[in-house]
Amino acid sequence: MGTDDLFHKRRARSAKQVSRRRARRDPYDKVLIVCEGEKTEPHYFNGVKDYYGLNGANVEITGECGSDPLSVVSHAKQRYREERDAGDPFDKVFCVFDKDAHPNYQGALNQIKQFTPKGALQAVTSVPCFEYWLLLHFGPNTRPYANLPGNSAGAQVLKQLQNYMPAYTKGTRGVFAELIDQLPFAIANAERALRQAEGNNTDNPSTHIHTLVQYLQTLKGGSKA
């Protein structure tokens, strides 16, 4: 069998695989969410996906890419290119990571901004950490955090959160459903914190998790253009 015949057979197989994947999906965006944590953030967003009945064939969530922001962005770029080259691109790709004490935080943001096509990757950051978003379910909080000897900014937020959720630890399941009644309050608090941070020319503290949650809330109701 000639090389041309092999190429055409592989191409036909690939086209059939893409067609099967599309058939399993619902008529709304194909989304990738790449998380810094292996458990905490993926468990949370899987909770969002399950609560709103989103199709797993439409929404891919992964945390198996390392905890460094640059590794999150690298994995997102790789998956984006793989699916694009297969003829079945993602409509949205979100990179979820914290600032905390990561030295590569700004570098990751720069890579997202420089990636082409522009806007294909979106940063969903929290300063200092993801638990700050959870803390906003219990009240407004715009006090800046600073790393202290033996007590990181992230550890300080976690301790505050455990005042309201004593059983909470990294990787806890069911958090989204547990806090669903406070979600509108948390969104309002997150928006307020962002406005104040931007007004003070800082990002400490702030989170964009609510923007991704709001997008997922409306995903099933809207069709792809």
pLDDT in tens, 19-55: 677 778 999 999 999 999 899 999 999 999 999 999 9
Overall pTM > 0.85:
yes
The rounded mean pLDDT for the chain is 91
With 0-12 CB in 10 A as exposed, 13-18 as middle and 19+ as buried, what is 46? middle
Domain ranges (residues) in the chain:
28-219
- Report the pLDDT value the prediction gives residue 11, as an integer from 0 to 100: 47
CA distance 165 to 202: 28
CA distance 117 to 129: 28
Render 68-92 in DSSP notation, one character per residue. SHHHHHHHHHHHHHHHHHTT---SE
- Report the pLDDT value the prediction gives residue 211, as an integer from 0 to 100: 98
Using DSSP bridges, classify how beta strands 92-98 and 31-35 pair: parallel, antiparallel or unpaired: parallel
With respect to CATH, is domain 28-219 assigned 3.10.450? no
Range scoring the smallest mean pLDDT among 5-14, 19-28, 179-188, 208-217: 5-14
> Under DSSP, is residue 201 helix (H, G, I), strand (E, B) or coil?
coil
Per-residue pLDDT tens digits for 104-138 = 999 999 999 999 999 999 999 999 999 999 999 99
Percent of the chain's residues with pLDDT above 90: 84
Q: Could you tell me which of 11, 16, 35 has the C-alpha nearest to residue 130?
A: 35
- Report the pLDDT value the prediction gives residue 4, as an integer from 0 to 100: 55
Region 47-66 average pLDDT:
96
